[in-house]
Structure 1
Amino acid sequence: MNQYRSVDYSSVGTRTNVNKVLRNTYMLLALTLAFSAVVAGSAAVLMLPPPGIIITLVGFYGLLFAVEKTKNSSAGLVFVFLLTGFMGYTLGPIINLLLKTGGTQILMTALGGTALTFFALSAYVLITRKDMSFLGGMMTAGFFVILALFVASLFLHMPILYLVLSGLFILFSSGAILMKTSDIIHGGETNYISATVTIFVSLYNIFLSLLNILMAARD
């Protein structure tokens, strides 16, 4: 008598979709990182001026809003590259300053530290397949702590406060990468554009925070 093994096609379909989202996320992330690096390098070579806090905030949140509104269409890809390119431009003046002051080693250390952090966090979630949603409460609390300290830093101008903020940004961004990667592999995140932006912004914050800490240590 022939025996047939039943197959849960809904489960297979879900796994296929998860793998597709994960693959597309990492592919788009690699492209946006490369594009942002080219823009940052060009801004540094051309010695373009920093955009300033107002333009930076308006540009970042404006483009972030545009990405969120168009993430389910091809226009979302355009806004993703506009957002990541703009963020690369904001790094240009910082990179230029580092290169002028002999900070090449600091720059490479921050890049290496950011890459190592990303690969370690991603590998941990992908290998263990652990559900990281339990971090949600701590992430919410951390967000408000960072927001309060950021506002305070605008008025107090205390070097130690900037270092504390940088450390908190690294922890917060690392948590965001863990949660987003976990969300993808468990089927909670089905939009690779949204996932890419979250991870990209987290890597940007980690890189910038490492630069701040390393520059403070040098000085």
Structure 2
Amino acid sequence: MSQYQVNATQSRESAVVVNKVLKNTYLLLALTLAFSALTASFAMASNAAPVNIFVMLIGFYGLLFLTHKLSNSVWGLAAVFALTGFMGYTLGPILGFYMATANGSQLVMTALGGTAFIFFGLSGYALVTRKDFSFLSGFMMAGFLVIVAAFIANLFLQLPALQLALSAAFMLFSSAAILMQTGAIINGGERNYILATVTLYVSLYNIFISLLHLLTAFGGEE
């Protein structure tokens, strides 16, 4: 077999693997979003109290760590649904609060639509251009440290302007994460669809919450 035939075979095999990872990632993402919607609806129907921020952080990072540890086994799927179900449950009281306001349903639907538009736009751009967005890694690390510092400061200061800045920063950071993760799948840097799903899910969650906060603020509801 010539070198050309070997390269062509490897290229076809690589394309098959990429398509499989993409398919599994988007399928699992759709299922986890549906499961989150179910747990959020349950929390709203049962009038669940808002989850304490520290309990939420411990639960999120604990389940995130568990998902990463189990990502190469079938138990990783259970960990993903535990994580996304928990995040959906924490979202329930937040949605219940907004839905109780005068134009809350409109705000929630607008935030949902905006989140979908951003996700499909960024994913489509990455899929069409097939660019490698790994150059964003430095920006992501710097942005993460800035966001963590601002988040901790805001726990004590509770400044409205800082809260808005944090929401905008979360949107930019999460948008970059979507580009980087999708590009990694396409270019062979990510072969674990469980980890890819978690990254995309958390990005969507952050974009939705941030959009909801920004729309509420600029709409004069806060």
1:6 correspondence with 2:5: yes
Q: Residue by residue, what CA displacement relative to the aligned partner does 1:43-90 show, whole Å, maximum 9, x if unpaired?
A: 112111112011101110110011001001110000100100000011
Please show how residues 186-205 of structure 1 align to structure 2 within 5 Å.
Answer: 186-205=187-206
TM-score by length of 2: 0.94
Structure 1 runs not aligned, ≥5 long: none
Matched AA of 1:178:
L
What is the RMSD computed on CA atoms of the aligned residues?
A: 1.0
1:165 matched residue in structure 2: 166
The whole-number CA distance in structure 1 between the counterparts of 2:113 and 2:96 is: 18
2:59 matched residue in structure 1: 59
The whole-number CA distance in structure 2 between the counterparts of 1:140 and 1:64 is: 18
Please show how residues 141-180 of structure 1 align to structure 2 within 5 Å.
Answer: 141-180=142-181
The offset of 1:112, in angstroms, is 0.3
Structure 2 runs not aligned, ≥5 long: none
1:78 correspondence with 2:78: yes
Matched AA of 1:130:
K
The whole-number CA distance in structure 2 between the counterparts of 1:83 and 1:6 is: 44
1:123 correspondence with 2:124: yes
The whole-number CA distance in structure 1 between the counterparts of 2:33 and 2:66 is: 19
The whole-number CA distance in structure 2 between the counterparts of 1:6 and 1:94 is: 57
The whole-number CA distance in structure 2 between the counterparts of 1:130 and 1:71 is: 26
Matched AA of 1:216:
A
1:29 matched residue in structure 2: 29
Q: Percent identity?
A: 59
The whole-number CA distance in structure 2 between the counterparts of 1:92 and 1:132 is: 34
The offset of 1:11, in angstroms, is 1.5
The offset of 1:6, in angstroms, is 3.3
Q: Residue by residue, what CA displacement relative to the aligned partner does 1:156-185 show, whole Å, maximum 9, x if unpaired?
A: 110000000000000000000000000000
Q: Residue by residue, what CA displacement relative to the aligned partner does 1:122-148 show, whole Å, maximum 9, x if unpaired?
A: 000000111111111111111111111
Secondary structure of residue in 2 paired with 1:6: helix
Q: Residue by residue, what CA displacement relative to the aligned partner does 1:167-211 show, whole Å, maximum 9, x if unpaired?
A: 000000000000000000001000000000000000000000011
The whole-number CA distance in structure 1 between the counterparts of 2:134 and 2:98 is: 38
What is the aligned residue count? Answer: 215
Matched AA of 2:118:
T
The whole-number CA distance in structure 1 between the counterparts of 2:89 and 2:106 is: 21
1:16 correspondence with 2:16: yes
